[in-house]
Amino acid sequence: MAQTQKECIFCRVLAGEIPGEILHRDDHCFVIRDIAPIAPVHLLVIPLQHYIHATDASPDMDVTLGHLMAVAREMAKREGIFESGYRMAVNQGPHSGQTVDHLHLHVVGGRALELEG
């Protein structure tokens, strides 16, 4: 069953109810480190609005969704993984590995990444 906004860990971090180091915040999104990283750099770029999946976003979210990609690029530069390469991924649903029911973009790098199949 989907988490409500009140139960969402990302919404709770943003509200200051749960401690978390916010690395970046602007009018559209915020960035935190993944608590279970799969690489030396594993960031989460999270829209301020609570959507579960990208497909739930209305057309007025197009700017925000594009902004997530731009912030991911800037964070990759800041973390020193821009030149060597990094992965950006959005998981949708339980079979994809989505564990938090709030749309978020993973930025992963800092080592050679394997293709998963």
Q: Catalytic site residue 104?
A: yes
Cα–Cα separations (whole angstroms), residue 83 to 33, 79, 86, 99: 20, 10, 9, 29
Give φ, ψ of 107 to 5 degrees: -120, 115
Out of 28, 42, 50, 104, which one is annotated catalytic?
A: 104
Residues designated as active site? 104
